[in-house]
Amino acid sequence: MTRPIRTAVFPVAGLGTRFLPATKAMPKEMLTVVDRPVIQLAVDEAREAGIEHFVFVTGRNKGVIEDHFDKQYELESTLRRRGKSAELDLLEQDLPGAGQTSFTRQQEPLGLGHAVWCARKLVGGEPFALLLPDMVMHAKPGCLRQMMDVYEARGGGNVIAVEEVPWEHVHRYGVVGAKDWKGNAFAIDQMVEKPKREAAPSNLIISGRYILQPEIFAEIERQEAGAGGEIQITDAMIRLMARDRFWGVKYEGTTYDCGDKVGFLSANVAFALERDDLSDSFREALKKILATHGGL
C-alpha cells in the first residue's frame, strides 16, 4: 500500500542577501507576490495537495513567519468592529489549524540537505513533501498536486518536479536523465549536479518540488560537506537512487524564481494579470509605464 504524504517541509532559513536592503529586517519569504507572501503561496500549494502538517526550518530573525501562521487577535478584533467581514474571512481561510504547524531551527547555513535533515524528528518515519518557497509554481492544479497524482499512480517512491531549459543553461542546475515516459511522468535513471552541456543526460532540471521517502535522512547524515561547506540534497538523492525508485514529473505550469529580482517582478506581473479585481486596471497601468519608458 502506498503511504500517504501528510507532511511538507519548507526551508526558510536563508538570508535573502539578493534582496537587501528589503530583507535586512524582513524574511525574504514574506516578500509579497501582489498581496500574498511567497511562503503563503507555497503553503497554499501544499494544502491543495492534501498536506496536513507544515514544517518550517527557520533561522534567526524569522519569527515573523511564525507570527504570520498564527492568530492575530488585535487585528481580528479591529476588523470585526469595523465590519470588515471579507478581510476577516480571508485571514481565517489562510490560517492552518491548531497543531498543524511546526518550527525548527537550522542554526548554521549549511545547505539545503542540512536544512531538510534538521526536520527529521518532526517528519518521523513517513514520506514527505519538500517545497522551496523561492520557487513559485504557477499551475492549476498545483505542481505538488500533479506530483501527488504520479506518486499514487506509480505506487510510491520518490518524485521530483522538472522543467525544460535551453541546453546552454543546463550547467546551472541539477539535471535528470529520463526513460519510460508515460504522459508527463517518467523514471529517473540519472541525476547530475551542474553538468557541462556535453555531459548532461537531458535538459530537464530539478525545479524545487520533491516527494521523498524518509530514508533520505540517513543518506544526508552520511553526506560530507561540499563546496562552500554546504550539504547538498542532490548528492543524498543520487545515493538513494541505488536502492529506491525516483520518478520525474514535467509539470504543467510556469516557475518563477522569486529568489531572483527579475523572477520576483515577473511573478507579480503574472499573478496580477489574472486577478479579476486587478487585471484591467493593472494592464492599463503597465501600458502607461511601458509608453513612458520607451515601450518594449
**Do 3 and 127 meet the contact criterion of CB atoms below 8 Å apart?**
yes
CA 53 – CA 128 distance, rounded (Å): 10
Asked whether residue 271 is assigned to any structural domain, the reply reads no
Task: Using the predicted structure, report yes or no on whether residue 290 has a pLDDT greater than 70.
Answer: yes
Asked whether residue 284 is assigned to any structural domain, the reply reads no
Q: What is the pLDDT of residue 253?
A: 94
Q: How many domains does the chain fold into?
A: 1
Task: Give pLDDT tens digits for 146-162.
Answer: 999 999 999 999 999 99
Burial readout 64-89 (b: 16 or more C-beta within 10 A, e: otherwise): ebeebbeeeeeebeebeeeeeeeebe
Asked whether residue 138 is assigned to any structural domain, the reply reads yes
Q: Which of 9-23, 41-55, 271-285 has the lowest mean pLDDT?
A: 9-23
Task: Give pLDDT tens digits for 61-81.
Answer: 888 999 999 988 898 899 899
CA 64 – CA 69 distance, rounded (Å): 9
Asked whether residue 91 is assigned to any structural domain, the reply reads yes
Asked whether residue 281 is assigned to any structural domain, the reply reads no
Asked whether residue 210 is assigned to any structural domain, the reply reads yes
Task: Give pLDDT tens digits for 100-149.
Answer: 999 999 988 889 999 999 999 999 999 999 999 999 999 999 999 999 99
Q: What is the pLDDT of residue 97?
A: 87
CA 289 – CA 9 distance, rounded (Å): 39
The parent domain of residue 227 ranges over: 7-259
Predicted structure pTM score: 0.93
CA angle, 290 then 292 then 296, to 5° = 30
Asked whether residue 264 is assigned to any structural domain, the reply reads no
Q: What is the pLDDT of residue 94?
A: 87
Task: Give pLDDT tens digits for 231-281.
Answer: 889 989 999 999 899 999 999 999 999 999 999 999 999 999 999 999 999
**Do 176 and 164 meet the contact criterion of CB atoms below 8 Å apart?**
no
Q: What is the pLDDT of residue 68?
A: 92
What nine digits make up the cell of 272? 496580477
Whichever domain contains 72, its CATH number is: 3.90.550.10
**How high does pLDDT run on average in the chain?**
92
Q: What is the pLDDT of residue 202?
A: 94
CA 251 – CA 255 distance, rounded (Å): 10
Task: Using the predicted structure, report yes or no on whether residue 227 has a pLDDT greater than 70.
Answer: no
**Do 158 and 225 meet the contact criterion of CB atoms below 8 Å apart?**
no
**Crossing angle between the packed helical segments 73-81 and 85-94, to the nearest 10 degrees:** 150
Task: Using the predicted structure, report yes or no on whether residue 289 has a pLDDT greater than 90.
Answer: yes
Asked whether residue 136 is assigned to any structural domain, the reply reads yes
Query: How much is the average pLDDT of 169-178?
Result: 92
